Amino acid sequence: MTITDLRKYSGKLPILTTTLLIWSSLAQAQEMKWDSTVRPDIYNTRVELFRSLPHARKDVVFLGNSITFWADWSELLGNTRYKNRGIPGDITFGVLERLDEVIQGKPAKVFILIGINDLARNIPDSVILQNYRRMVRRLKAGAPGTRIYFQTLLPTNDTFQKLKNHYNKEDHIRYLNDALKEMAPAEGFDVIDLHPHFVDEAGKLRKEYTWDGVHLTLAGYRKWAEVLRKGNYIK
């Protein structure tokens, strides 16, 4: 039984049966090893660069992994205030480890998109959500004037057959995106729902927006920028 099956049917099963299923699911999760300490080879070099750059309270920071990294945000959005803090291969634990650099700058806004590499490494949904919560609370404590935006995870497309560990995570992606929206009012951050703008009729990342089923083409980045402009998240 999958995690989706458990969520769908747990309310309809006897308590003992549900408990056994939950324990079985937890046991399976423990068998799927994951490592919070994994960092991409480029990680330390990028963090060192970030720490050396000037900071200003008018900055708008884009924080995330390679999906964020491969956009030239200042060019795409037409303003040098937009700063790229993406690191290819990064996970939520990596963002937490380097979050002090963002907090130190006390930027006007921070746009966060992170989590698909966590899923590729079998990091549980509950851990990812807890890391989202930790990011928000640390930002609020250290940079209370910073407006926090979480962007929903994008769909993937397994027809490209390039990044197989990242594909077929759609149940987890939907769950995390829904949980982000539920968490936002209590934790005091905004959610930008990118996912519907990138998904096709089959529930996959639109082919015109990706070249490997995970990362974006120029058309994909232009769509992202369009969503931000139309939602008045940027000016």
Look up the CATH number of the domain holding residue 169: 3.40.50.1110
Task: Return d(Cα 69, Cα 215) in angstroms, integer.
Answer: 10
Query: Are 95 and 154 members of one domain?
Result: yes
**Radius of gyration for the chain, computed over Cα atoms and rounded to the nearest angstrom:** 18
Query: Are 74 and 107 members of one domain?
Result: yes
Please give the distance of CA 34 from its chain centroid, rounded to a whole number: 18
pLDDT band at 1 (very low <50, low <70, confident <90, very high): very low
Three-class SS of the chain: CCHHHHHHHHHHCCHHHHHHHHHHHHHHHHHCCCCCCCCCCCHHHHHHHHHHCCCCCCCEEEEECHHHHCCCHHHHHCCCCEEEEECCCCCHHHHHHHHHHHHHHCCCEEEEECCHHHHHCCCCHHHHHHHHHHHHHHHHHHCCCCEEEEECCCCCCHHHCCCCCCCCCHHHHHHHHHHHHHHHHHHCCEEECCHHHHECCCCCECHHHECCCCCECHHHHHHHHHHHHHCCCCC
Query: Are 16 and 74 members of one domain?
Result: no
Q: Give the model's pLDDT for residue 156.
A: 97
Which tokens sit at 4? 């989706």
Residue 8 has pLDDT above 60, yes or no: no
Instruction: Tell me the residue length of the chain.
Output: 235
Query: Are 94 and 137 members of one domain?
Result: yes
Task: Return d(Cα 187, Cα 129) in angstroms, integer.
Answer: 12
Q: Give the model's pLDDT for residue 13.
A: 52
Mean pLDDT of the chain: 91
Q: 144 Cβ partners below 8 Å, 6+ apart?
A: none
Instruction: Look at the chain and report how many structural domains it folds into.
Output: 2
58 domain residue, yes or no? yes
Q: What average pLDDT does the segment 147-152 reach?
A: 98
Query: Are 162 and 225 members of one domain?
Result: yes
Query: Are 104 and 182 members of one domain?
Result: yes
144 domain residue, yes or no? yes
Query: Are 18 and 102 members of one domain?
Result: no
Query: Are 144 and 216 members of one domain?
Result: yes
Query: Are 26 and 107 members of one domain?
Result: no
pLDDT band at 23 (very low <50, low <70, confident <90, very high): low
State pLDDT tens for residues 185-228: 999 999 999 999 999 999 999 999 999 999 999 999 999 999 99
Q: Give the model's pLDDT for residue 235.
A: 79
State pLDDT tens for residues 27-81: 454 546 899 999 999 999 999 999 999 999 999 999 999 999 999 999 999 999 9
- Tell me the residue range of the domain where 13 lies: 1-32
Task: Return d(Cα 168, Cα 86) in angstroms, integer.
Answer: 24
Does residue 3 or residue 56 have the better pLDDT? 56
pLDDT band at 15 (very low <50, low <70, confident <90, very high): low
Query: Are 135 and 22 members of one domain?
Result: no
| pTM, rounded to two decimals | 0.86
37 domain residue, yes or no? no
235 domain residue, yes or no? no
Query: Are 61 and 4 members of one domain?
Result: no
Q: Give the model's pLDDT for residue 14.
A: 58
Q: What average pLDDT does the segment 222-235 reach?
A: 95
State pLDDT tens for residues 104-127: 999 999 999 999 999 999 999 999
Q: Give percent of the chain above pLDDT 70.
A: 86
Query: Are 14 and 47 members of one domain?
Result: no
